[in-house]
């Protein structure tokens, strides 16, 4: 017991020193934090402690279904045209059926076989008078909605990350909702504007075969659509007749940056990948002299004339942009388009004053709890209780160090977990000291009693901590937001308290006995 191995002493000293270094930034002013290296930063404060914005977003499920049905209709049309089948009544029946009628009896079997190959997830059936129906089962639509939600989650994360927001919490909730928590955000309206835009960018040719007035009267050519202009400027059309066919999509962009043109107007320069550059070059080469519509979320930003082929894979989007609008558009294009629109169901803004009150209340609770435990341990166990208090303070230091090292976010429930950890940290020492007291009453020597106390209390301490650890892991796995924060601090607190109770306290007690050689223990 008294001969503590050197490697354990070195381990305790190194861990304690590392904990003090990593936890030190939490005691420094915020002005100093900016000059510290990235690996040496204080604990991040959650939304409830430093204020910020909370948004609950919902993915538009009806849009997902509509897109799936529209794509399926276009696939059916392409397949039948490529197979030279005559067809009638192609369209969507209800919300989830695509039907088409094949009038020629001799073509019905071949058309049915061709349509079955379009999508293996679609159920294809035949009806009376050559009617063929394609339908996605409910399971398939649920899976595709789930994929769209996951993709939307990733796009939202990219957009938030490019804003430079520190430690945002972006999580999926239920089947079609996304929770966004942005600590410290001072401009929630800009966040809402950025997240509310689908940012689907396409390049489509303007159809000059009819005028806008003719299109408004119903004379719209097949394969064309009437789109509004994003900004109504004097001398420019308010609407455009645009071909539905997308020549180049925004998904092929590799970069977009806001800058200024020669006149000082804010513009967005973009660059395509190799495939996008090839398609953009072919489009501009084949349509010199025509107008190319740049369409964002169903509105024409601009429709410049193609004066010459653009073969470098780069281009420029101009419009009546402010510099902030150009920066936001470039950010959206870099992050990618949302697969479906997002609706803001709930918005909450937490002021920094409320967060400051929460921090003050948490600090007071921690201080009162720490002082109470320290006094109790000294009164009941004397010098051994004081050694346990030293281990308790080191446990709090190590806990802060772990939170900083893991870049975790501290929330108000997390502070509650820290307070709970303080009680559990001395609980192990209480078990050890009470076991030592029983061994002394049984007639053992001081050294023998201390050794037996640490050895025999170990299994009880381990059982208690493992039980609590299982509960903390379940809270972290199944919980969300503040519940997970509580689980994180509890898991880390249990880990550090096990180290301080079994290693640190034992080292200090053995060192004290070896140098003081007391005749009795104050137990």
pLDDT for position 227: 92
CATH number of the structural domain spanning residue 416: 1.20.1640.10
Residue 441 sits in the same domain as residue 456: yes
Residue 200 sits in the same domain as residue 66: no
* 522 assigned to some structural domain: no
In degrees to the nearest 10, what's the CA dihedral of 318, 320, 325, 331? Answer: -10
pLDDT for position 354: 57
Residue 340 sits in the same domain as residue 191: yes
Q: Quick one: 160 exposed, middle or buried, by C-beta within 10 A (0-12, 13-18, 19+)? A: buried
Collect all residues with Cβ–Cβ distance below 8 Å to 189 and sequence separation of at least 6.
none
* 88 assigned to some structural domain: yes
Domain final position from 348, 374, 389: 348
Residue 197 sits in the same domain as residue 310: yes
Residue 323 sits in the same domain as residue 258: yes
In degrees to the nearest 10, what's the CA dihedral of 387, 393, 399, 405? Answer: -110
Residue 344 sits in the same domain as residue 367: no
* 244 assigned to some structural domain: yes
User: How many other C-beta atoms can be found within 10 angstroms of the C-beta atom of residue 466?
Assistant: 11
Q: How far apart are CA 188 and CA 361, in angstroms?
A: 27
Q: How far apart are CA 122 and CA 276, in angstroms?
A: 30
* 1 assigned to some structural domain: no
pLDDT for position 205: 92
Domain count within the chain: 3
Residue 107 sits in the same domain as residue 219: no
pLDDT for position 480: 66
Instruction: Report the predicted TM-score, pTM, of the whole model to 2 decimal places.
Output: 0.61
pLDDT for position 34: 66
Cβ atoms of 136 and 14 within 8 Å: the answer is no
pLDDT for position 167: 64
Domain final position from 141, 175, 193: 141
Residue 74 sits in the same domain as residue 19: no
pLDDT for position 358: 67
Domain final position from 141, 166, 181: 141
Residue 306 sits in the same domain as residue 389: no
* 472 assigned to some structural domain: yes
Which portions of the chain are predicted below pLDDT 50? none
Cβ atoms of 135 and 157 within 8 Å: the answer is no
Residue 288 sits in the same domain as residue 313: yes
pLDDT for position 208: 87
Q: Domain span at residue 384?
A: 6-51+352-516
């Amino acid at each position: 017991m008294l001969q503590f191995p050197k490697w354990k002493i070195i381990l305790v000293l190194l861990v304690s020193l590392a904990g003090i270094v990593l936890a030190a930034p939490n005691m420094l002013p915020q002005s100093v934090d900016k000059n510290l290296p990235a690996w040496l930063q204080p604990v991040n404060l959650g939304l409830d402690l430093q204020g910020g914005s909370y948004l609950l977003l919902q993915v538009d499920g009806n849009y997902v279904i509509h897109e799936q049905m529209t794509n399926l209709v276009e696939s059916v049309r392409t397949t039948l045209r490529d197979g030279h089948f005559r067809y009638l009544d192609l369209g969507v029946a209800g919300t989830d059926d695509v039907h088409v009628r094949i009038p020629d009896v001799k073509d019905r079997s071949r058309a049915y076989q061709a349509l079955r190959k379009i999508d293996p997830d679609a159920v294809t059936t035949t009806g009376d008078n050559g009617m063929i129906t394609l339908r996605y089962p409910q399971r398939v639509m649920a899976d595709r909605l789930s994929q769209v939600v996951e993709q939307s989650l990733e796009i939202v994360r990219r957009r938030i990350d490019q804003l430079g927001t520190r430690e945002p919490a972006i999580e999926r909730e239920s089947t079609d909702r996304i929770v966004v928590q942005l600590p410290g955000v001072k401009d929630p309206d800009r966040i809402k504007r950025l997240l509310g835009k689908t940012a689907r960018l396409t390049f489509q040719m303007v159809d000059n075969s009819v005028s806008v007035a003719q299109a408004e009267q119903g004379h719209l050519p097949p394969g064309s659509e009437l789109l509004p202009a994003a900004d109504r400027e004097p001398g420019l059309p308010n609407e455009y007749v645009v071909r539905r066919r997308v020549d180049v999509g925004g998904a092929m962009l590799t970069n977009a940056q806001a800058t200024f043109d020669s006149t000082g107007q804010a513009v967005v320069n973009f660059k395509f990948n190799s495939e996008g550059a090839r398609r953009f070059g072919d489009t501009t080469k084949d349509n010199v002299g025509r107008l190319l519509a740049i369409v964002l979320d169903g509105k024409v930003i601009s429709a410049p004339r193609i004066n010459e082929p653009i073969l470098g894979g780069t281009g420029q989007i101009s419009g009546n942009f402010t510099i902030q609008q150009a920066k936001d558009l470039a950010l959206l294009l870099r992050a990618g388009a949302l697969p479906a629109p997002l609706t803001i169901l709930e918005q909450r803004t937490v002021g920094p004053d409320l967060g400051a009150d929460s921090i003050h209340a948490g600090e007071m609770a921690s201080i009162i709890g720490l002082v109470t435990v320290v006094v109790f341990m000294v009164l009941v166990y004397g010098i051994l209780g004081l050694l346990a208090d030293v281990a308790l303070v080191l446990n709090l230091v190590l806990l802060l160090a772990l939170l900083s090292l893991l870049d975790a976010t501290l929330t108000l429930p997390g502070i509650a977990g820290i307070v709970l950890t303080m009680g559990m940290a001395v609980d192990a020492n209480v078990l050890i000291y009470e076991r030592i007291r029983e061994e002394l009453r049984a007639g053992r020597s001081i050294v023998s009693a201390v050794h037996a106390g640490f050895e025999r209390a170990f299994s009880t301490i381990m059982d208690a901590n493992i039980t609590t650890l299982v509960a903390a892991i379940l809270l972290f796995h199944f919980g969300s937001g503040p519940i997970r924060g509580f689980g994180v601090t509890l898991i880390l607190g249990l880990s550090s308290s096990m180290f301080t109770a079994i290693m640190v306290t034992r080292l200090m007690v053995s060192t004290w006995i070896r140098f003081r050689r007391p005749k009795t223990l104050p137990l």
